[in-house]
Structure 1
């Protein structure tokens, strides 16, 4: 697929002021909706009502996407809100990763790439017929202002105010090359004790320093990454602000509770997600590309609304080809040099968690069926 330079429509940048304005209007919309104020027009198709609904949808999508470090095309309502801002930048500044994502055309996003690795992954995956619906569609590489972006399908396109969950996959979310340096780092020691003063060993306390490998493994142990092979990064419920402080959700019970909360009483969503994740697992197990690559730090994005349910693999910046003599099963424990990352182990456990999620409607049906059987037997 050929590269190209994209002509960009001028857009105002994302910053804390624009986010504050969006949050304020978001709160007003929710308050009005809860009280019924402003939603009493007799005509369902009146321009005023339609405009309000469009503004609500745009704001909710804006907030959800920024929380999950994704973006969609800038909406007119947000541009109107920020029209007084004076700026020369075309990019939204996303929380945590400034300039990583940028708005593109309808239904697409731009993601900044430090090199060609992620583009190569998407192109390879899109060439495998069985995997073409497992990832966002790759459109092209874009060069702008001396930087390189890849243009991808916006997976939220076609959903109406959906529930969204971002799940980081694998028992290891860092590359082996990132932790080869065995130098002691005082800065990482300070980060460790700020999270858990009891974590360093007596020797590490004495040195007041730890290696990067030690720190990265410590961080993985703070969530369900090590034990379950995945962690819930963030989730957004319809009609509410996103929840992003989930990296300390660790035990199986905590993860099941979080997933139960996300699914709610939608037994149909649980069953459709199970089928979709099992389909993804089967396709990955048979994929030639997957057999010859380690997939580190990728996520599964789960989205559902009243009608649609979907799950896709995203984020391949740390996917690397394996050395010719190395084979992995994506399930074995990681040891330095074996390249195992636990992706399929995590997918196995995610499916297992979903199987354990109890949906209220399903419980009620089970109780009702049991009661009927007892009544018939007596």
Structure 2
């Protein structure tokens, strides 16, 4: 996971990132859409930096870390600053936060790769991991609230919960958005239907064996993350695993190896402009080849490497729960 400690960003050109399946409000994007700028606390920055130094193999399971940005000062890259305690919200403000969490009150942002960039229609699934979602030292009120959520959802029974997702709907040429309350309705016996909804595009875009192959490859990445956490000592409260796959059925078919449509034959000689454009497109493709899917661990505000404390059974159990659902889904393509 390469880093750039001095991202060159013109803050006047940053825009709100509105494509997240879940997470806090206040996330920004650069004009190209390649980067996201996420307000954060020092702990998350430290975790990215420590992971690069201590466990570079696990960093491959995380979004590429570009560095930090001081918000409010155009193009100013600064060291992390202390986070401020968020102000008490009114009930009206709380009611407005149905999809995203509260905006973090901080002037420091972490600059990461946008995991949705490069997809034509990115379908996104955010799975919150762990039966316990809060770190030691959390206030009693917040701990009680999160325990209640866990006891009433698959967080408690399976060790994970669907935190949010978006799925491209070709009939309306737009995405169907599923907020955090969608995931809270499931039980251990029916949560597989949420996975079926998320992966519904596979049936229209791929042959059965291709769909099964894609699901098995995604499962392998989830298992890879678990195996890494089983050999290291860490604590990752309220972390997620994010799954993204191409929601455009035609594009997905091409990426998975189906025969593309035969292009129209044009026997005339290309113009200089067309040659230049073709070369530029080839260079872009070489720099960032399209992929059918991505699987990454995200959200490390309450994460740390903890030598001597043993492995993170809380998150490991959650990943095993996700693997179990993926196994069920794959079996339906047999």
Shorter-chain TM-score category?
Answer: 0.5 to 0.7
Q: Which residue of 1 aligns with 2:329?
A: 357
- 1:329/1:286 CA distance change after superposition, 3 Å: closer
Q: Which deviations, in whole Å up to 9, do the C-alpha atoms of 1:53-103 show, x marking residues without a partner?
A: xxxxxxxxx75x14434xxxxxxxxxxxxxxxxxxxxxxxxxxx443x112
In the alignment, is residue 271 of structure 1 matched against residue 212 of structure 2?
no
- More deviation in 270-279 or 142-151? 142-151
Paired residue for 2:126, among 163, 166, 181? Answer: 166
Q: Is the 8 A contact 2:7 2:66 kept in 1?
A: no
Report 1 or 2 for greater relative contact order, CA contacts < 8 Å, sequence distance ≥ 6. Answer: 2
In the alignment, is residue 122 of structure 1 matched against residue 48 of structure 2?
yes
In the alignment, is residue 328 of structure 1 matched against residue 310 of structure 2?
yes
Distance 2:317 2:162 in 1: 15
Task: State the Cα distance separating 1:111 from its structure 2 match.
Answer: 0.9
Q: Is the 8 A contact 1:165 1:303 kept in 2?
A: yes
Q: Which residue of 2 aligns with 1:243?
A: 178
Distance 1:12 1:152 in 2: 14
- 1:303/1:2 CA distance change after superposition, 3 Å: closer
Paired residue for 2:226, among 281, 285, 296? Answer: 281
Q: Which deviations, in whole Å up to 9, do the C-alpha atoms of 1:253-299 show, x marking residues without a partner?
A: 22111112222333222211111111221222223xxx1x3110111
Q: Is the 8 A contact 1:278 1:351 kept in 2?
A: yes
Distance 1:129 1:216 in 2: 32
- 1:213/1:284 CA distance change after superposition, 3 Å: closer
Q: Is the 8 A contact 1:2 1:141 kept in 2?
A: no
In the alignment, is residue 175 of structure 1 matched against residue 125 of structure 2?
no
- 1:2/1:158 CA distance change after superposition, 3 Å: closer
Distance 2:199 2:177 in 1: 15
- 1:216/1:359 CA distance change after superposition, 3 Å: same
In the alignment, is residue 222 of structure 1 matched against residue 194 of structure 2?
no
Q: Is the 8 A contact 2:15 2:30 kept in 1?
A: no
Answer 1 or 2: which has greater helix percent.
Answer: 1
Q: Which residue of 1 aligns with 2:283?
A: none
In the alignment, is residue 131 of structure 1 matched against residue 58 of structure 2?
yes
- More deviation in 140-149 or 293-302? 140-149
- 1:151/1:353 CA distance change after superposition, 3 Å: same
SS at match of 1:252: coil
Distance 2:299 2:14 in 1: 26
Q: Is the 8 A contact 2:14 2:29 kept in 1?
A: no
Bigger radius of gyration among the two? 1
SS at match of 2:183: coil
Q: Is the 8 A contact 1:304 1:310 kept in 2?
A: yes
- 1:309/1:7 CA distance change after superposition, 3 Å: closer
- 1:7/1:250 CA distance change after superposition, 3 Å: closer
Q: Which residue of 1 aligns with 2:67?
A: 140
Paired residue for 1:316, among 283, 300, 311? Answer: 300
- 1:3/1:246 CA distance change after superposition, 3 Å: same
Count of aligned positions: 239
TM-score after normalising by structure 2: 0.64
In the alignment, is residue 294 of structure 1 matched against residue 266 of structure 2?
no
- Structure 2: segments with no counterpart, 5+ residues: 74-106, 170-174, 204-210, 247-251, 256-291
Q: Which residue of 1 aligns with 2:80?
A: none
Coordinate RMSD, CA, aligned: 2.5
Distance 2:40 2:14 in 1: 22
In the alignment, is residue 253 of structure 1 matched against residue 198 of structure 2?
no
